Structure 1
Amino acid sequence: MLVLQQYIQEVLFRQRVCVVPHVGTFSIQHFPARYDAVSQTLLPPRDQVIFSQSWQDDGSCLEWIALKENLVPSVAQRKLEKYLEEFKTALESGKTLELPGIGRLQGDFTGNLHFYAEELPVNPADLPIAPIQRTEPPAPAALPAIQPTMAVTPVTPPEPPAPVEPLMTAAEEDTLEAVTEGGIFKWWWAVAGAVILLGGLGAWWYIGHQSVHEVPPPAPAPALPPATDTIVDTTQQVPANTVTTAVPAAPDSISYFVILEEYKDSLTAAHKVAKRKSWEQNVVLYHKNNLYKVAVPVKSLPIDTTSVLQEKQSEFKINKAYLEF
C-alpha cells in the first residue's frame, strides 16, 4: 500500500495525471484568478487535485513498479495485483488513507470512494479591491451671451514639425557617394568644355577687334636713290627643287571612357567600384541609358583609341571592354 502512495505522489506532480488501475484517476486542475464579490478581494490562480473513480489503464503504474523494483513485466504485474488488493482492502474497511501533499482518500460500505483534497501552496496573496465610487461631475454653468463687441483672441497655429533627415545604411551611403562622384566627373568635363569654348570665342572676338581698331599707320616711303645708268636686275631665279610644305597642326587630345562592366542595379555597381578602388584602380561609376557603368576615364589622341582599348583590356583582363565617348 505504501508503494502505491509513493507512486501517486511521484507521478501526479510530474505528469499532472495519475491512473491507479481498479481504483480511479487523480489529476491536477488549474483554476484562474477570480473576484470574490462578498469579501471584495481578487483571489489568485490556484491548482487543485481532483479524483474520479473512472479510470483507463495507461500502463504507467506497471512500468513504474518494474523500474522501481527492477522487475521483469510479468513479475511486476503480480506485484501490482498484490499492491492493489491491499489498497482496496484498506479502503473497504473504512480506513482513511493519507496521501501527503495531495489529500485523504476514504471508502464506505457501498464501495464509493470519497476524496478530500489539500490546498496546494500558492505564492501570490489575495489582493483586496475596494469598489470605486464614481461621482458625476457637476453640470457646467450656463455661459453668458457673447456680446458683439467682445474681442476674439486669435489662436496661433502650432509650428510644423522639423523635417527629419532620413537614415541611410552604409551600403546606401557608398552607393550614393559613388554615383555622386561619377556625376561630378561627368559634369566637370561638360563645364570644362563650355569654358574652353567660351574662351576661344572671347579670344577670337578680341583679336578681330584689335585688328580693326588698331591698324598701325603705313610706314613712310623710302627716298628714291638718284637715277643712274646702272641697270639693276630684280629678277631672281628660284631653285627648281625648292618645295614649300605646310606644317600640319597637331590634333587635340580627347577624353572618353573605357567601359569595364555595366549593371542594372546601382548597389551592385557601387560595390564593384568600391572593390576596384580598394585594389587601387582608377575607376568611376556613372549612369547612362538605364545602366550603371564601371569605367576608366582616359585621355589620348583620336588615333590612339584602339591601342588604349587593347591596353585596358589586357590590364583589367576584360575582353568585353569597350569605348564610350
Structure 2
Amino acid sequence: MYQEIYKYFVLNRKISIPGIGNFSVNTDSAKLDFVTGVLHAPQPKVAFEKGQPAIDRQFFQYLSKALNIDEKQAVQSFQAFSQSIKENIDSNKPVELPGIGKLQKGYSDDDILFTEEHAVTPAYLNDIKLSSATDSKANLVELYKTGDNLIITEETEDDRLEMIVKEKDEDYWWVYALILALMGVGALLYYYI
C-alpha cells in the first residue's frame, strides 16, 4: 500500500492522510554563498501540516487502479492504513515513511512531530563552485552541444557580438582591396588614354 501512496506523492507533490495531516513538496530557491563562492542548487523540501485533509477523489481513483480493486475497497484500505499510522503514533511508536520522513508523538496528546528525511540531491541539482563570487564566466548554462559551452551572461553576449562584427570585417577585406585596385587601374587608363 505504501509504495502506491509514495508514487502518488512523488507525482502530484502532495498527499493527505486522514487523522494525520497533509504532506506537500516545496522547493527552496537557489542560494549564492559569497564566502565560499558556491551557488547552491534549489532543494525540494517536504512540508507537513497537521489538520483534517479534504477528500481527494483523484487519489482514490489512482489507488483503485494501482491495486486493481474498486474505489470503495481502496477507500477502506487507505483508511485502515491511516488508522494503523495513527495507532502507532498514539502508542509512542515512531512511524517511518521512507522518502518522506518520520512521524512521532509530540508533547501533547494530539500533537504530531514531523522530521523530514534527507533525500539525496539529484545529479542535475549539483552545487556550482565559482572561482569568485562575482564570476560572470561560470558555466551556468550549456546552450548548445557544439563542442564549446556557450555561457549566457551580459559580458559573454557583448563578446559574442564583437566576434560577429570582427568576423564580418575579416570576411570583406578583399572587397576594399578590389575597389582600390579598380580605382588604380581606372586612374592609369585615364592618365594614359
- TM-score range, shorter-chain basis? 0.5 to 0.7
* TM-score for both structures, normalised by structure 2: 0.57
Residues 210-269 of structure 1: CA distance to partner in whole angstroms, max 9, x if unpaired? xxxxxxxxxxxxxxxxxxxxxxxxxxxxxxxxxxxxxxxxxxxxxxxxxxxxxxxxxxxx
Greater helix content: 2
Task: List alignment gaps of at least 5 residues for structure 1.
Answer: 133-160, 165-325
Alpha-carbon distance in structure 1 between the residues aligned to 2:31 and 2:15: 27
Instruction: Kindly state the Cα deviation for residue 34 of structure 1 after the two structures are TM-superposed.
Output: 0.8
- Whole-angstrom distance in 1 between the partners of 2:20 and 2:46: 16
Decide which of 17, 20, 27 is 1:20's aligned counterpart: 17
Counterparts of 1:270-289 in structure 2, within 5 Å, are none
Secondary structure of 2:61's partner? Answer: helix
The answer to whether residue 112 in structure 2 is matched with residue 110 in structure 1 is no
Alpha-carbon distance change, 76 to 102 in structure 1, aligned in 2, over 3 angstroms: closer
Q: Identify if the C-alpha distance between structure 1 residues 33 and 87 changes in structure 2 by more than 3 Å, giving closer, same or farther.
A: same
Q: Structure 2: state its 5+ residue gaps.
A: 135-171, 176-193
Which residue of structure 1 aligns with residue 122 of structure 2?
122
1:36 Cα deviation (Å)?
2.8
Residue pair 2:89, 2:105 contacting (<8 A) in 1 also: yes
Structure index of larger Rg: 1
Does residue 67 in structure 1 map to residue 69 in structure 2? no
Report how far residue 90 of structure 1 moved. 1.0
1:10 corresponds to? 7
Per-residue CA deviations over 1:109-134 (Å, capped at 9, x if unaligned) read: 522222211233132124256457xx
Residue 21 of structure 1, CA deviation: 2.5
Question: Equivalents in 1 of 2:21, 2:44: separation in Å?
Answer: 19
Which residue identity lines up with residue 101 of structure 2 in the other structure? G
Contact 1:19 1:60 (C-alpha < 8 Å) held by counterparts: no
Bigger relative CO (Cα 8 Å, ≥ 6 apart):
2
Q: How far did residue 14 of structure 1 move?
A: 0.8
* TM-score of the pair, normalised by structure 1: 0.36
- Counterparts of 2:60 and 2:102 in 1: how far apart (Å)? 23
Secondary structure (helix, strand or coil) at the match of 1:52 reads strand
Counterpart amino acid of 1:110? Answer: D
1:103 and 1:80, CA in 2 relative to 1: closer, same or farther beyond 3 A?
closer
2:32 to 25, 32, 35: 35
Q: How many residues align?
A: 132
Q: Distance in 2 between matches of 1:81 and 1:28?
A: 23
Alignment equivalent of 2:48, drawn from 47, 51, 65: 51
Q: How far apart in 2 are the matches of 1:129 and 1:96?
A: 45
Hey, what does 1:94 align to over in structure 2?
A: 92
Contact 1:46–1:122 (CA<8 Å) still a contact in 2? no
Q: How many percent identity over aligned positions?
A: 23
